[in-house]
Structure 1
């Protein structure tokens, strides 16, 4: 369906559309897939700056006969947001809440606004949009309308279709109108007016009349019928609602430009009742009884298989630990205007079903935090089941069927029998059981011809099964390509014919998201994998032990869930939050790496490791590792980036920043020759600017100041006896580059606190390094050599089992995560990974029972280092601060933005600060003057100090050491911290003068030599 004049199409879009027009390989690769099994490389991507620009883009595409696909968050699980078409991405700019009427409880929005962002703006009016799918942090309202999204809250508020009042639509041929409920007299007026709109309404009138009996008879009478077009909305008893008829049409009929939505009050009180059962079928059997006795706002279920997967992964354990006894659970949530009322609803249900609140298989809570903890286990279902710990690949394809709730238990038994028949071992079953909707991911064999054939046979059999129960192929995720071909099995030939007539009425040339729902591509066509997929299997530096030692399997951890596109909370993904660009999300980068593997003949990326498109997408990756912990499937983009750069620059000149920042530990050691001179040179007017330019450093960045005396120099002069490595009190304090050469007061403070706790401290005095800066710049062979040397120095301690205490989180994370993947066969590396601890871990878990930290009694604003968040976690730090009586506000607003070398490199400063302004800098500016600002990471402290906060952040070791001295000052306690000062103005100018005089002196000397000769 590629239009003949592609260059003309691109030129016209660039000339006529106010927005970003991208037909490059990188953009096309990033949009080639969604959250489904399917892959279609788009013709190009348009990111309109306004709704009117988006409408103009559609007009240009129509002129060139180019197919069009509207896209929001791109999280679709049925293939409806991937197509060989011009993709119009509304999610970057078209995100406004246009108007709000709190009295009528309505609002008008643009299609790209994210659900959580909309609800955040509505919160002040105590209103919300009712449906809330699990992707609420990043799904766009336009996508929700296109998909007819639901979520757990649909139990109370219905599907998206039940909450849409009017839509402003645009057809492919240019007809634009607001549509909604249309009484007969208004229809007659529109039809009598003539023109394209009259043709559309006349056609709708005819379809509704001709298929009236079929619609009434053929549509399942269940709460979660999402499959098919909403022809039932055109019935007289439903008000001939054209807007509702178009909801769920997946962009195959019209483009939605704006939407008027109904809103609901935010319930002020909630409670949660969790009921345990012997198995998931027993839980399903009890749904009807539960609904008979109450009207919950949510009725969710999860099974023992999901809980088992979580325990194996070590994920969501805090959620599992508060669930009652049982192998499967129903979660019944109540909402209301008073706590007494919602609590009584829960207790009334317990009385009705013969259970008590204190029974072992019952858990009740009206504490919001505990409720969210329990519900989090259910909401995490897709991520947990998408990549099980046993490394099986599971896929969508039959992940959201729905049946009448009263028949759910029997349906699950038959579905499990079908799993067994096909050898699909033990898929998890969970979902929105109160509405009969079941979620699962199945280990289809989509890499082989036999596996794909089984996949087709299974979904055909499953479609017949759900139809026999009076159910729906889709109860939430839509039809797209996954179920479009199966609709006849559910609706019959006549209704599917009616769907085709509706499609022909709105889109007679089949250019709106073609191949989805109507005239669909085969269910086993355009697969992301498929039997013909033959990816490259390159040799790698990292071992990827959790991915069957395979780079391509590590890349394929991304299944398109899209959590990396969230706008707040957690760490992932800072570059997306700053740019709102798909290519700069974890998902977008993973998609490009997938294309780079070259498994398909039409891969957008043709140049493998040398790809500039992949390099450019990875350039703004901060390597924060937030995705390793925050991504539901554990994508580790920092490691993938390092691997890519190692190959991309192999045998080539690298960017200068890779030498200046990558070799920072070397330059830091050389600074010991003359630290004052080094500082003056790095800050001298003119000279510093020239040096930054040559080194690839952004001119807006200040060079860090070297300490006059390094930590190791101080340690050598200290009167101490070298401890025995075998002594259980001995710990090795790791002298990382940052705590040794830039902020040695941190390491000195750590020595003092550790010794106060009864430990005997050892410090390696010869040059050692973890290799972090070489890893982050992709210089992996050098990193291995550095690590090998370090292991030799540490060997006596490693063999004795001596703990190694890290102060800099990024260096500690290297020992615990990166080094074992780089050198998997090295026994010392494995020992080090097991023996390295954070400062807080050592004091919380291994200090003598009678040791107490100093009592600080202060408020603290705390920035967690991203690598600590991802690898070591922050639990021990929270506990240590609690014991020290610190009232800590631990920020949940992501990366600081500096991210080691990233924020120093030329071209990154603007993004670096944009990331910081998302959370950490505003929070620090708002901190009370007498509070502490804590940040264990050198990058975090630097960004806070240079980010216009007027504050200096301290390491937790410094704070505890200051506490040992007594009371901290009441105002700006960080004044007591020892930091190397910048060189004086006189020293800086003297260095500039000396540098300027040097060439003149050399020239004069040469002249004198010539005269004498």
Structure 2
């Protein structure tokens, strides 16, 4: 291995990584399987990838070309050299709007490609649920589909040409091959001629079987596409390679078809008494030519409801126990709407039991589609139920037989005790998704898993279906292909493998000569994770850190580069797997497993967590609720226990103490820390980035001001506690004063704690959890009278409010006062919306709003939207993700570049582009500091400050 690594490092210009941390991050995909790679190569160009394969060939090392790593059948993990194209090889090489084609490199993510071609009014046809992270190369490897395949087909239907690289070094373009092209290839001779000659001979030997054994259904993804080699299909070598899961070639470039983006869309949701009745209705819906036809059952909806996933969308479903989501699209709204109405009239004529919801508001449609895409998150860890797994999650049958198949499949689930599995999927093409509560940790459970999938395979074949309708064969279904295709076709797959990869070096053990479906399990009968003592309670994970570390199921939403999600800012900045939420989760999983990396002292885990901003975005955005900020705090606590910590842990981590001391002589402290020489010395001593400006302490703290403040006299005012957080108290007291002005105008009687208190966040974020718990217990003692009386605690700093809402009850698990504070804490807007529904002030300004990450993840922003609308604030809420400062993160030495890359992703460009009359609102101290230090020409404000200005305006007008 060392000589392989050395040769790769010498000849590959990209990155060659054989370290334990990288190998751990790539040890699995979204499947049940785990195979630690030999190493990872991140090629700088596709030519670099060619050099990497050449080195591997010289050493006889197997190769796996990997896309977004979201595969569910185990095809993206192997004991091989993994080629990851996503960091550098993600160019849109060219787009031809007239021909509606694009030439791309394999590492480009689907959403990114669609963003780049949207200006031409074009898009890629297939759109899997993992569209934020799946790559075109991965989609080609897996023959991806998604809901839009109803209108645009599988990825094989979009591929025009591929530039491929075989393991033995042939680099060539392939595509449809008319006779003239075929003869030219033979005339030119060489490896390509041998390959084409062999493919035609293979096809001719198995011609009858290929024509008769492939099921004639829209969703056949299993097996190699030998049918693309048929004369009537143009001997299309490119399409024959689509779906081969990196077992035959490495794709270097792809030319694909694009489709016009429809301008109008309408969604009809049909409700039925059962999911079986919904499936029975599919043949009647298909003649209306929808662009998508999805099904979902009551169990899925209830799971989403109990986990508060897509709750707004669920409320839009019509009555029923099973639903069909039927989407129509086109360029003329009236024509699209008419088609939808014709469908509704038609189904009502045939059944009096169908219910209907008719949606033509794009926002409502998007909410329902997001609910459908949230299915994996809802079903992976059902609240109060058993965790579920892939393994039999995407079989497809003829759409006309779907209802009967589902009834038989449900009976099979009941027979094996898996009756809690929900059923949903691409019903218009007969493809059914489910996750099943397999027991993969005991010998009996694994044996039952094998028996079940063998029975399920026979059932699908009896209906003329395909073992896989979307996710591919990999290791989950490779062993079962003979049941579907028969011995002769499976032998033909082996012959095709031998033509392209005679030494079985391309992703071995998948599809052809596959590893056993119950082998290399990520858990398995030998799984025995370390049960480590912890500070947080992990109530969602049975109070076990090992379960929390295994929570990630690999769907890769954290690898999205754009969109509404906050997570994962460090991945957006680095495009590094180990700096995604998923990559870090994999390292933690391997840490508790103890084979590749081991224990709390692991430097590999520490380095991967170093660039985690602890933004908490994953807590809400991750489909299964991975909470990396909490895991990071836990890890740091144990990693540095009884050891010297980084300097920033003593400076930024103890900021509340230093700020309190500085408040005794803020002018002197400011003069000292901002003097040119002392500034550099102070930053070095504190472990703060030299590029950062140290914040200025206020001349008078908020608490000192409040002691001299004379509140309005009234016995009828409602009592609230206003929390004096460190940032408001010592740095931005104007926010506290504005909050007092607003709350008193709204009729509240304010108190602030007389003793020094803190939420403990600086100690939590640096993993000083013992100190944090002591600080929080003291805070609870100070607040006890207010907690026992049910008095609301208003917190104007979102990160502090989020601590009280989430971190506090998990750190002091079982403490009733902690639970009370969690329930009584409110943001300023939440209190005003809940308790003073008629209060408003005339702000009347445009505003650009940056939502604090912790507010997004824990508290929500609905109340703020409501209040701004009520006060005539024309607010544009940015979809910018994390500001990049994230408390202490952006101040720490070594983090400045990533911090600014996060800010430049969307926030700072939007602020710079805003006109001078537009307010910039950011309730988080970190967000305001990042904007202020970036010299954007705008002074960011807290919502309280603009509401207070409205109070003064209203009062002056009244006077």
In the TM superposition, 1:75-90 aligns within 5 A as 75-90=70-85
* CA-CA distance at 1:852 after TM superposition: 2.4
CA–CA distance in structure 1, aligned partners of residues 690 and 533 of structure 2: 38
Unaligned runs of 5+ in 1: 1-5, 970-1013
Task: Name the counterpart of 1:706.
Answer: 697
Are 1:716 and 1:765, in contact at CA under 8 Å, matched by a contact in 2? no
Task: Name the counterpart of 2:443.
Answer: 449
Task: Name the counterpart of 1:665.
Answer: 656
Are 1:350 and 1:356, in contact at CA under 8 Å, matched by a contact in 2? no
Give the counterpart of 2:475 among 460, 481, 492.
481
CA–CA distance in structure 2, aligned partners of residues 642 and 730 of structure 1: 35
* CA-CA distance at 1:967 after TM superposition: 8.2
CA–CA distance in structure 1, aligned partners of residues 711 and 348 of structure 2: 70
SS of the residue corresponding to residue 889 of structure 1 reads strand
Give the counterpart of 1:655 among 637, 646, 653.
646
* CA-CA distance at 1:188 after TM superposition: 2.5
Task: Name the counterpart of 2:327.
Answer: 333
Task: Name the counterpart of 1:286.
Answer: 281
CA–CA distance in structure 2, aligned partners of residues 496 and 273 of structure 1: 42
Task: Name the counterpart of 1:617.
Answer: 608
Q: Does 1:588 align with 2:579?
A: no
* CA-CA distance at 1:360 after TM superposition: 8.1
Task: Name the counterpart of 1:681.
Answer: 672
Are 2:147 and 2:426, in contact at CA under 8 Å, matched by a contact in 1? yes
CA–CA distance in structure 2, aligned partners of residues 367 and 317 of structure 1: 17
Total equivalences in the alignment? 955
CA–CA distance in structure 2, aligned partners of residues 63 and 906 of structure 1: 42
Are 1:898 and 1:939, in contact at CA under 8 Å, matched by a contact in 2? yes
User: Which 4+ residue blocks in structure 1 deviate beyond 4 angstroms?
Assistant: 355-360, 720-724
SS of the residue corresponding to residue 790 of structure 1 reads helix
CA–CA distance in structure 2, aligned partners of residues 588 and 876 of structure 1: 34
CA–CA distance in structure 2, aligned partners of residues 391 and 572 of structure 1: 27
Task: Name the counterpart of 1:24.
Answer: 19
SS of the residue corresponding to residue 663 of structure 2 reads helix
C-alpha spacing 1:457/1:746, structure 2 compared with 1 (3 Å): same
C-alpha spacing 1:463/1:968, structure 2 compared with 1 (3 Å): farther
SS of the residue corresponding to residue 401 of structure 1 reads coil
C-alpha spacing 1:23/1:30, structure 2 compared with 1 (3 Å): same
Unaligned runs of 5+ in 2: none
Are 1:72 and 1:112, in contact at CA under 8 Å, matched by a contact in 2? yes
* CA-CA distance at 1:374 after TM superposition: 2.0
Task: Name the counterpart of 2:97.
Answer: 102
Are 2:538 and 2:548, in contact at CA under 8 Å, matched by a contact in 1? yes
In the TM superposition, 1:185-196 aligns within 5 A as 185-196=180-191
CA–CA distance in structure 1, aligned partners of residues 512 and 501 of structure 2: 11
Cα displacement string for residues 456-487 of structure 1 (whole angstroms, at most 9, x for unaligned residues): 11111101110111000000000000100010
Give the counterpart of 2:769 among 752, 763, 780.
780
Give the counterpart of 1:470 among 464, 484, 491.
464
Q: Does 1:894 align with 2:846?
A: no
CA–CA distance in structure 1, aligned partners of residues 379 and 714 of structure 2: 49
Task: Name the counterpart of 2:231.
Answer: 236
Task: Name the counterpart of 1:203.
Answer: 198
Q: Does 1:421 align with 2:423?
A: no
Are 2:410 and 2:419, in contact at CA under 8 Å, matched by a contact in 1? no
Are 1:391 and 1:547, in contact at CA under 8 Å, matched by a contact in 2? no
Task: Name the counterpart of 1:346.
Answer: 340
Cα displacement string for residues 690-717 of structure 1 (whole angstroms, at most 9, x for unaligned residues): 1110110001111111111101111112
* CA-CA distance at 1:352 after TM superposition: 1.9
Are 1:347 and 1:357, in contact at CA under 8 Å, matched by a contact in 2? no
* CA-CA distance at 1:184 after TM superposition: 2.2
* CA-CA distance at 1:968 after TM superposition: 13
Task: Name the counterpart of 1:761.
Answer: 750
Give the counterpart of 1:631 among 616, 622, 626.
622
Are 1:641 and 1:778, in contact at CA under 8 Å, matched by a contact in 2? yes
Are 2:344 and 2:356, in contact at CA under 8 Å, matched by a contact in 1? no
Cα displacement string for residues 624-644 of structure 1 (whole angstroms, at most 9, x for unaligned residues): 000000000000000000000
Cα displacement string for residues 513-532 of structure 1 (whole angstroms, at most 9, x for unaligned residues): 00000010000000110010
C-alpha spacing 1:358/1:792, structure 2 compared with 1 (3 Å): farther
Give the counterpart of 2:299 among 295, 305, 330.
305
SS of the residue corresponding to residue 686 of structure 1 reads helix
Task: Name the counterpart of 2:718.
Answer: 729
SS of the residue corresponding to residue 45 of structure 1 reads strand
SS of the residue corresponding to residue 917 of structure 1 reads helix
Greater mean alpha carbon deviation, residues 815-824 or residues 356-365: 356-365
CA–CA distance in structure 2, aligned partners of residues 358 and 782 of structure 1: 65
CA–CA distance in structure 2, aligned partners of residues 852 and 222 of structure 1: 60
C-alpha spacing 1:358/1:409, structure 2 compared with 1 (3 Å): closer
Give the counterpart of 1:35 among 18, 25, 30.
30
* Superposed CA RMSD: 1.6
Cα displacement string for residues 539-583 of structure 1 (whole angstroms, at most 9, x for unaligned residues): 100011111101011112100010000001220000000000000
Task: Name the counterpart of 1:989.
Answer: none
* CA-CA distance at 1:359 after TM superposition: 9.7
CA–CA distance in structure 2, aligned partners of residues 358 and 166 of structure 1: 49
TM normalised by structure 1 equals 0.93
* CA-CA distance at 1:942 after TM superposition: 0.1
Cα displacement string for residues 894-935 of structure 1 (whole angstroms, at most 9, x for unaligned residues): 000000000000000010000000011111111121111100
* CA-CA distance at 1:106 after TM superposition: 1.2
Q: Does 1:217 align with 2:217?
A: no
Are 1:723 and 1:762, in contact at CA under 8 Å, matched by a contact in 2? no
C-alpha spacing 1:381/1:553, structure 2 compared with 1 (3 Å): same
Task: Name the counterpart of 1:883.
Answer: 870
Q: Does 1:492 align with 2:486?
A: yes
Cα displacement string for residues 37-66 of structure 1 (whole angstroms, at most 9, x for unaligned residues): 000000000001111101111111111100
Greater mean alpha carbon deviation, residues 387-396 or residues 668-677: 387-396
Are 1:723 and 1:730, in contact at CA under 8 Å, matched by a contact in 2? no
Q: Does 1:324 align with 2:318?
A: yes
Are 2:270 and 2:354, in contact at CA under 8 Å, matched by a contact in 1? no
